[in-house]
């Protein structure tokens, strides 16, 4: 199982507040990622939240499949951006060679560590040959929860790299580490990874 009930409950209850705080400007990493993809390509977003990133993809002419495990978030994304977003948890991804890119900004960090290898394998299967995958994680030493009760896998960079290396042919082509806050206003170390599929 890749969804934590407490985390889903938080986003279900706080969706309006979360959207107000993070609802408009797209993630700063998004355009550079999209530049790697063929124009008009199909992109899957895992954890679309407010829909801000999917809206930017759509604006740039991509075919967007925006998904989130939280019904209230999907409703807000569709209400604001008319995305056709749908409810889907990570472990429910069944697509095969359907997307040129998979975008998972601040979403896979909620998956239990034991579930992440299986999720990455599903992403690999969903990507077309030559596809690209972006994900960001909050770094740490052990799984845990924040002050709001949200679950995080808090991996270290070496462990993450090992999970990616276990997918045949995957190559991490870009890594960025930085410090940033979040909804809980706690500054943490983050890592962004961009991987390519052969």
Report the length, in residues, of the chain. Answer: 198
Paired residues of 196 in beta bridges: 132, 171
Q: Cα-atom radius of gyration of the chain, to the nearest Å? A: 15
The count of structural domains within the chain is 1
Q: What is the pLDDT of residue 184?
A: 82
Question: Domain holding 152: CATH number?
Answer: 3.40.50.150
CA of residue 57 relative to chain centroid, distance: 14
What local confidence, expressed as pLDDT, does residue 182 receive?
80
pLDDT tens by residue, the chain, 198 residues: 568 999 999 999 988 777 666 657 899 999 999 999 999 999 999 999 999 999 999 999 999 999 999 999 999 999 999 999 999 999 999 999 999 999 999 999 999 999 999 999 999 999 999 999 999 999 999 999 999 999 999 999 999 999 999 999 999 999 999 999 887 888 999 999 999 999
- pLDDT of 180 reads 92
Find the domain containing 70 and state its range: 5-196
* pLDDT for res 91: 96
């Amino acid at each position: 199982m890749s969804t934590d009930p407490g985390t889903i409950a938080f986003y279900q209850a706080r969706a309006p507040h979360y959207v107000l705080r993070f609802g408009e400007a797209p993630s700063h990493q998004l355009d550079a990622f999209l530049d790697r993809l063929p124009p008009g390509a199909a992109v899957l977003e895992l954890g679309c939240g407010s829909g801000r990133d999917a809206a930017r993809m759509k604006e740039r002419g991509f075919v967007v499949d925006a998904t989130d495990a939280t019904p209230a978030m999907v409703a807000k994304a569709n209400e604001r951006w008319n995305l056709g977003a749908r409810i889907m948890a990570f472990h429910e991804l069944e697509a095969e060679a359907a997307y040129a890119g998979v975008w998972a900004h601040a979403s896979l960090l909620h998956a239990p560590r034991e579930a992440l290898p299986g999720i990455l394998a599903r992403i690999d299967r969903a990507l077309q040959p030559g596809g690209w995958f972006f994900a960001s994680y909050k770094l740490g030493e052990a799984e845990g929860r924040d002050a709001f009760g949200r679950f995080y896998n808090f991996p270290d960079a070496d462990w993450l790299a090992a999970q990616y290396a276990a997918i045949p042919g995957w190559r991490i082509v870009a890594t960025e580490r930085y410090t940033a806050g979040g909804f809980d206003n706690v500054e943490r170390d983050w890592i962004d990874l961009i991987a390519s599929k052969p």
